[in-house]
């Protein structure tokens, strides 16, 4: 992907686009893949960077949602399990099977969860990742040796999927472009254009890098801005009641030794009734998540003290080595774009994760709710609706069998570059160097160059938070190498020392929210 080339494609287009998508997260990029692969002229505009918001801040799980089964949301679980299998099949370099162990400290827990997970397996059908099994005490300790031993009776093992969310988003953006879509980051939509009959005919947008504005015509405009959906809906029809009920979730990242194994722990009942995960990820452990209803929406949400205490307290109840604040290497927060229900008293953990595609009287399509695992189905439903709204020629969705960029069935997950898939060898063959800049995680000059040249990385944060996941893994170490990475980017992008200084300062400001004081 090359931003300058994509900008030229935008400028040179004289006819209206078939579809303009606002928002570069999972739903937006997924919709761009679907639309472009059907042959529609597609433009995606993202105000910041791809997956800058919620789509880079998940628990890194591709799952049906065991707790949705507990809530009785059967249709969502069936849909998510099916999409989990499709995602695993279409992106084997990005999605892998992960075993989860539920430790049991009561005699009835294992049979209870064992029965429920057999239903979970049955729902997955042919796209299942493996059968769930009851474990005795010794088997449980063999799989998760650092679990709290006192009172342990046994456990249950089941299978779900794991992925790198931001790397998935970047690969999806490349997939969309491979099929003819035009994508631009740092390009904000400032307003909606309407004709005499008040129907939407396009957008006005601004290139955030140089301030230039554009009038862009489109047959259909799709609002895929997640937690910011209401702001676009207000552009269309001021005074519309809020459609999004945001919820914040945080995750703490610890050294891998806190789990000491390749299996995840799932805690089925925390003090607030949610499930809690401790998941191995890139030689670290991600522990989360919380579910806190919030009123204000920020692109850099900050963890609340009570959320940090909640995760540490509940994790400590199940780990023999109890994590403390000083053990946390990074903390990241994300906002869930939950579709608002009519029940104001309903807690956010009870709000359905089903997605909705809403069409306004002026023709704006808005994607509300949904979850990462079902991004492909969300996109299919959205583009099917767009065909009707925009009067586009009927074409069937083909994404169920569409490989994601870099597809590599034989990806070696012990290789820190496995997420690049078939691009990994191309990166290693570059001439800038394969030696890592850090001992805490692998990041090479070649990877930094590739991010700038092929993945549309514009800022230091783009590279260290999303093209590489350093900020999410170990914030302090990422801050240490930031000046070196900024200098390398300046060479690749032909920037001066003032740019380097500005980027380091901006990154330090963002990274401060990932550190626990």
- The 10s digit of each residue's pLDDT in 298-355 is 888 999 999 999 999 999 988 888 999 999 999 999 998 888 765 454 444 544 567 8
Name the more confident of 274 and 281: 281
Band (111; pLDDT cuts 50, 70, 90): low
279, 59 in Cβ contact below 8 A?
A: yes
Predicted model pTM: 0.93
Phi (first) and psi of residue 103, to 5 degrees:
-70, 145
- Please tell me the predicted confidence (pLDDT) of residue 350: 45
Please report the pLDDT score of residue 5 as a whole number: 97
Distance between CA atoms of 61 and 281, rounded to whole angstroms? 10
Which tokens in the block code for residue 289?
Answer: 């998540």
**pLDDT, tens digit, 9 for 90 and up, residues 250-278:** 999 999 999 988 999 988 777 777 788 99
**3-state SS class at 202:** strand
pLDDT at 345: 46
Please report the pLDDT score of residue 342 as a whole number.
55
> How confident is the model over 183-234, as pLDDT tens digits?
999 999 999 999 999 999 999 999 999 999 999 999 999 999 999 999 999 9
- Give the pLDDT of residue 338: 85
- pLDDT value at position 63? 85
Angle at 442 between CA 440 and CA 445, to 5 degrees: 125
What pLDDT does 52 receive? Answer: 97
* Range name among 46-60, 339-353, 483-497 with the lowest pLDDT average: 339-353
CA 115 to chain centre: 31
1-25 per-position pLDDT tens digit: 999 999 999 999 999 999 999 999 9
Does pLDDT of 78 surpass 70? yes
Residue 107: pLDDT band by 50, 70, 90 thresholds?
low
pLDDT in tens, 382-404: 999 999 999 999 999 999 999 99
Cβ atoms of 445 and 437 within 8 Å: the answer is yes
Cβ atoms of 92 and 171 within 8 Å: the answer is: no
pLDDT of residue 412: 94
Read off φ and ψ for residue 221, nearest 5 degrees.
Answer: -115, 130
pLDDT at 294 exceeding the cut of 60:
yes
């Amino acid at each position: 992907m090359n931003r300058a080339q994509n900008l030229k494609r935008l400028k040179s287009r004289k006819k209206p686009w078939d579809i303009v998508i606002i928002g570069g997260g999972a739903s937006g990029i997924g919709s761009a893949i679907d639309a472009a692969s059907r042959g529609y002229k597609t433009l995606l505009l993202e105000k910041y960077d791809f997956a800058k918001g919620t789509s880079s801040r998940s628990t890194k799980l591709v799952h049906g949602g065991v707790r949705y089964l507990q809530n009785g949301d059967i249709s969502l679980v069936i849909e998510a399990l099916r999409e989990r299998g499709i995602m695993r099949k279409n992106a084997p370099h990005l999605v892998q099977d992960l075993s989860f162990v539920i430790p049991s400290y009561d005699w009835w827990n294992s049979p209870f969860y064992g029965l429920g997970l057999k239903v979970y397996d049955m729902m997955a059908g042919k796209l299942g990742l493996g059968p769930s099994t009851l474990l005795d005490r010794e088997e449980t300790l063999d799989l998760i040796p650092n679990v709290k031993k006192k009172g342990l009776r046994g456990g249950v093992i089941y299978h779900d999927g794991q992925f790198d969310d931001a790397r998935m988003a970047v690969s999806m953006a490349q997939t969309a472009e491979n099929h003819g879509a035009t994508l631009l980051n740092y390009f904000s939509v400032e307003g909606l254009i309407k004709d005499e009959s008040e129907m939407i005919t396009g957008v006005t947008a601004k290139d955030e890098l140089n301030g230039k504005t554009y009038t862009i015509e489109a047959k259909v405009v799709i609002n895929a801005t997640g937690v910011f959906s209401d702001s676009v809906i207000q552009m269309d029809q001021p005074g519309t009641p809020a459609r999004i009920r945001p919820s914040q979730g945080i995750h703490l990242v610890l050294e891998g030794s806190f789990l000491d194994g390749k299996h995840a722990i799932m805690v089925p009942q925390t003090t607030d009734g949610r499930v809690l995960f401790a998941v191995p990820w890139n030689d670290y452990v991600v522990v989360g998540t919380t579910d806190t209803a919030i009123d204000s929406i920020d692109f850099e949400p900050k963890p609340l003290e009570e959320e940090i205490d909640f995760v540490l307290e509940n994790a400590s109840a199940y780990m023999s080595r109890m994590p403390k604040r000083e053990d946390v290497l990074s903390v990241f927060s994300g906002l869930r774009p939950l579709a608002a229900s009519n029940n104001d008293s309903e807690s956010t953990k009870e709000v359905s994760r089903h997605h909705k595609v809403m069409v306004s009287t002026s023709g704006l399509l808005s994607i509300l709710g949904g979850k990462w695992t079902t991004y492909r189905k969300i996109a299919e439903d959205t583009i099917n609706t767009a065909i009707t709204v925009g009067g586009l020629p009927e074409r069937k969705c083909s994404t169920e069998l569409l490989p994601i960029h870099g597809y590599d069935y034989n990806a070696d997950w012990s290789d820190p570059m496995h997420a690049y898939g078939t691009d990994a060898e191309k990166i290693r063959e570059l001439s800038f160097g394969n030696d890592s800049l850090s001992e805490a995680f692998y990041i090479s000059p070649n990877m930094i160059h590739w991010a700038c040249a092929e993945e549309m990385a514009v800022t230091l944060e783009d590279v260290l938070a999303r093209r590489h996941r350093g900020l999410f893994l170990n914030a302090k170490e990422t801050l240490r190498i930031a000046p070196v990475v900024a200098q390398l980017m300046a060479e690749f992008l032909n920037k001066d020392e003032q740019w380097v200084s500005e980027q380091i300062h901006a990154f330090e400001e963002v990274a401060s929210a990932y550190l626990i004081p």
